[in-house]
Structure 1
Amino acid sequence: MKIFASQIARQRFAVICLLGAVLAGGAGFAGGVLWVKERNPILKEATFTNLSASYNEIMREYLNGAEPKDLIDGATEGMVKSLNDKYSKYLIGDSGEAYVQNYESEVVGIGIQLREEDNVFIIDTVIKDSPAEKAGLKAEDILTAVEGATVKGVSLDKLIELLRGEIGSKVSITVTRPKQTEPITVTMTRAAIPVMTVSYEMKPDGIGYVVISRFAQKTADQFKTAIDDLTKQGMKGLLLDVRSNPGGLLVPTITIADQLIPKGKTILQVVSKEERSTQTYKSKQAAEWKLPIVVLTNRHSASAAEVLTAALKESAGATIVGETTYGKGVVQRFSQFKDLSVLSLTEAQWRTPKGNWINGKGVEPDVKVSLPAYTELSALPSGTVMKLGDYGDSVKTLQQMLAALGYDPAGASAGVYDEATKSAVIRLQKAEGIEPANGETADSTMNKLMERLREKLKKEDYQEQKGTELLKGLIAKGTSSSK
């Protein structure tokens, strides 16, 4: 221990300590600033002061006032848009939650699918074993009220929101049924409704036909169920349809590939920014797949659908039939924040098993087959009425649909709802028993058009027909898809 020899020495020491404390405080503050800047690189950018100053000025002076969260969300949204990457996006709040729900295995509701027709909501499908089926609801029932409140004037999105809720909660709806005068009111307990992304059927000659609409959390499980059932039915070859599949999650895609691709063969390679790392996924197949595979694609098959298609083509010897795929060879990772907003950001790209980049190019089919032009027509807008004197792209689409079904509005001006178009619509309405046959195109007429086009496509699906033909040949030869 040391003691001070004099008062002067004590004072001098006090001054030195004070200066030391100030210097240490300054150094600590500077260190703290540097640490904050290291943790938040945005603070190093000179233009960050513009953002901060603009925020402060808006909050202080903007005439109509502003919400801080709205300003920050808008800034984040704009920041992501500035990347000029069509796949990267910032989705705010409910939009972010809806994005995440696209990939979830279930939704909570009553188990019905609705369509809007002439300003009324009609039950299109009742899902098996759902609360709706157990309550006796049927397809073509017209939904008129939820919890006693009319649904007239409610948007379809809002109505779906009203029908969904928490598991175990109750909801009361009222429907009217054709040929029944009294309305029907039922109360149901909301339940988890599985989101089905795989459908299948056994076609003649032992062809198992499986459609994957997108890759969500339970898609691989649903695919396995389909394959197991088709195998029990005596499947001899697999016709896998990923047409118009926009992609989705990578994990279920890899799991499906594991089932179909020989063990140890490459499924894909994921390459990070500046090729700092490459992750190669190889098949972990547990049981050998011995059946031939034909894959159906079109120009809307994208992302994970292309991963599976390329892997089956290059590592399992599958035959690809249809059109060149979309060409999305990049990978997004998404993060959801506490307020449900989502950042989906392009962080990697991928190569096929043979090392091919497909971004902007797509996967080429082995056998090119196109569909009739009417299959590329966009859907007509619901909840509207097109009539004499209207014009635009929707009218042009209507005219093309009429022509495809044999009701050609001969002499009509493209995109103009003229007398020739009205006459063609009247012919369709009379043939289909649509009342009134007034030549105006409302939901009932639009829906009938779409129904008839779907029926027409079943007869003219040249891609499926070619795929089936090739698969029959492979089955006859006893050829496995593996090479």
Structure 2
Amino acid sequence: MNRFGEKAGKQRRQATLVAIVAILVVAGFAGGRLSMLLQYPIIKDKAFGNLAYAYNEIMHDYLDGAKSKALVDGAAEGMVGSLQDPYSVYLSEDKGEAYMQSYEDHFVGIGVEIRQEDGAFIIDSIIKGAPSEKSGLKKEDVIENIDGAAVKGLTFDELKSKLQGKAGSTVKLQVQRQGQAGLQTVSVVRGDVPVLTVSSEMKANGIGEITISRFAEKTAQEFDTAIASLQKQGMKALLLDLRGNPGGLLDPTIQIANRFVPKGKTIVQVVYKDEKRVLTHKSNQKEPWTLPIAILVDAHTASSAEVLTAALKDTAGAQVVGEKTFGKGIVQNFNQLKDGSVLKLTEAQWRSPDGQWIHKKGIEPNVSVAAPDYALLPRLDAGLKLTIGDYGDTVVTVQKMLQAIGYDTGTGSGVYDEATAAAVRAFQQHESLPVNGDMNDKTAYRILARLTDKFQTEDPQRNKAMDLLRAAESVASSGK
């Protein structure tokens, strides 16, 4: 009996052990599944089965084969695309890296801006402080060869990839320089090229002008430097040009606003989904700003540029001059993943200091001033070739440009007729270009240059803002 009891006890212990192991296995499985569900909630969605099925079918049976990474990236892009939000996007690997770099204060390269004219690549400008400036490259140099290979026939992207490389590496360019026979060989050591988003200039009557092209990582520091420089020159009023500024990062925008918005006043409110989180950014201004301010805006002033405009208009007494702004009142957060990919997602809206949501409405200027019609004409693409008999929208654009700078194209009906060719010949002769009456890249570039000169002189929006600032400064001076 004892032996029987001993055997039965052993069997019970074994059964208990098996039960415990079974429970642990089930618990482990359940725990693992719970962990998977918590980490990847998409698994719970019924439609996930369709995604998994498509993935498996493609990987196993697709005739040409497929790469799993490409499929997953494509699925992520499609998922974000289904939101039908132009501001939310998934950028895979290299695209994500490029997006992140666009906000940095430098990139690695040689530092030139290039234009294409009739198949030739011409250095349009040398970026100050870049390796190209130190190497001796000059504006208007025509690039013929890179590292011994001809550039003729390359696309812009192909040329760009040849100029890019690791910091410290050398690229050898052969260029044709104006007024010199033969090719000049210039070696450039690739390095950091500064990306500047702020420029400044002292205008007449002590009016300092600052232009912000977009809001990037170091924009606030650049702005501080510009303000300090203008103050040393005796600035009496500030003109802030935000025309064409598409926005960018919010933090540098708030840092700049701190200088002008009175301490403790609201700069912007950021409101997240279902108002579960509301961030109110208030000014921590260190010294009161006492000079008159005017801001130039247009239909392309958007996002963070509108945040700054609204804050200064509502709380700092800034005069806003120009045209109604774009109207982007939403905020995107972006995160970079381990492989470099970036998810940019609309997660909040922003409201002006007085609580207004300007999305799809824009900000109305205090003083409305339209840009001249010629300033709104589209640019002429590289590779342009037009001659008598051609017609279409591009011909209309050319005719309007020529008319704006004083050349008669007749009725300007959109047909490249003899009157248009005569106007082109007259322009080419005046600019010391080959005279043939046909439109090409070289002629188009000169026309755009003359239009730019005309706008810089006539700019009605800037001129109106300058008048307002002069009047405000005169009143302020008389009151002292």
Contact 2:131/2:193, CA 8 A, preserved across alignment: no
Q: Compare 241-250 and 108-117 and name the one that shifted more.
A: 108-117
Output aligned runs, 1:8-157, within 5 Å: 8-157=8-157
Contact 1:291/1:479, CA 8 A, preserved across alignment: no
Q: Which amino acid aligns with 1:456?
A: K
Output aligned runs, 1:8-407, within 5 Å: 8-407=8-407
Q: Distance in 1 between matches of 2:66 and 2:394?
A: 38
Structure 1 residue 129: Cα displacement: 3.4
Structure 1 residue 310: Cα displacement: 0.4
Q: Which runs of 5+ in 2 are unaligned?
A: none
Q: Which runs of 5+ in 1 are unaligned?
A: none
Q: CA RMSD in A?
A: 1.9
Query: For residues 200-240 of structure 1, what are the alpha-carbon distances to aligned partners after superposition, in whole Å with 9 as ceiling and x for unaligned?
Result: 11111000011111111111111111111110100000000
Query: For residues 64-117 of structure 1, what are the alpha-carbon distances to aligned partners after superposition, in whole Å with 9 as ceiling and x for unaligned?
Result: 222211111111111111001111111222222222222110111222221111
Contact 1:244/1:299, CA 8 A, preserved across alignment: yes
Q: How many residues align?
A: 476
Counterparts in 2 of 1:448 and 1:61: CA distance versus 1, 3 Å = same
Q: Which amino acid aligns with 2:84?
A: N
Q: Which amino acid aligns with 1:370?
A: A
- Structure 2 residue 434 is matched with structure 1 residue 430: no
Query: For residues 132-157 of structure 1, what are the alpha-carbon distances to aligned partners after superposition, in whole Å with 9 as ceiling and x for unaligned?
Result: 22222211111112211111122223
Find the residue that maps to 2:216 and give its secondary structure.
coil
Q: Distance in 2 between matches of 1:184 and 1:139?
A: 14
Q: Distance in 1 between matches of 2:306 and 2:4?
A: 82
Q: Distance in 1 between matches of 2:25 and 2:164?
A: 57
Q: Which amino acid aligns with 2:427?
A: L
Contact 2:396/2:412, CA 8 A, preserved across alignment: no
Q: Which amino acid aligns with 1:36?
A: M
Paired residue for 1:478? Answer: 476
The one of 448, 451, 458 equivalent to 2:449 is 451
Counterparts in 2 of 1:470 and 1:183: CA distance versus 1, 3 Å = same
Q: Distance in 1 between matches of 2:427 and 2:46?
A: 65
Counterparts in 2 of 1:143 and 1:52: CA distance versus 1, 3 Å = same
Q: Distance in 1 between matches of 2:70 and 2:445?
A: 40
Structure 1 residue 444: Cα displacement: 0.3
Find the residue that maps to 1:387 and give its secondary structure.
coil
- Structure 2 residue 462 is matched with structure 1 residue 464: yes
Q: Distance in 1 between matches of 2:106 and 2:291?
A: 31
Q: Compare 19-28 and 81-90 and name the one that shifted more.
A: 19-28
Q: Distance in 2 between matches of 1:363 and 1:84?
A: 25
Paired residue for 1:410? Answer: 410
Structure 1 residue 354: Cα displacement: 0.8
Q: Which amino acid aligns with 2:57?
A: E
Q: Which amino acid aligns with 1:338?
A: K
Q: Distance in 1 between matches of 2:349 and 2:276?
A: 12
Q: Distance in 1 between matches of 2:448 and 2:87?
A: 30
Q: Distance in 2 between matches of 1:129 and 1:146?
A: 22
Structure 1 residue 412: Cα displacement: 4.7
Find the residue that maps to 2:402 and give its secondary structure.
helix
Counterparts in 2 of 1:418 and 1:55: CA distance versus 1, 3 Å = farther
Find the residue that maps to 1:114 and give its secondary structure.
strand
Q: Which amino acid aligns with 2:335?
A: S
After TM superposition, the score normalised by the length of structure 1 is: 0.94
Q: Distance in 1 between matches of 2:71 and 2:422?
A: 53
Find the residue that maps to 1:311 and give its secondary structure.
helix
Q: Distance in 2 between matches of 1:4 and 1:327?
A: 88
Q: Distance in 1 between matches of 2:420 and 2:74?
A: 45
Counterparts in 2 of 1:372 and 1:286: CA distance versus 1, 3 Å = same
Q: Distance in 2 between matches of 1:31 and 1:392?
A: 67
Counterparts in 2 of 1:71 and 1:393: CA distance versus 1, 3 Å = farther
Contact 2:237/2:292, CA 8 A, preserved across alignment: yes
Q: Distance in 2 between matches of 1:386 and 1:5?
A: 107
Counterparts in 2 of 1:95 and 1:394: CA distance versus 1, 3 Å = farther
Query: For residues 270-316 of structure 1, what are the alpha-carbon distances to aligned partners after superposition, in whole Å with 9 as ceiling and x for unaligned?
Result: 11111111111111112221111010100100001000000000111
Q: Compare 256-265 and 20-29 and name the one that shifted more.
A: 20-29
Q: Distance in 1 between matches of 2:302 and 2:313?
A: 15
Structure 1 residue 118: Cα displacement: 1.2
Structure 1 residue 8: Cα displacement: 2.1
Find the residue that maps to 1:478 and give its secondary structure.
helix
Find the residue that maps to 2:274 and give its secondary structure.
helix
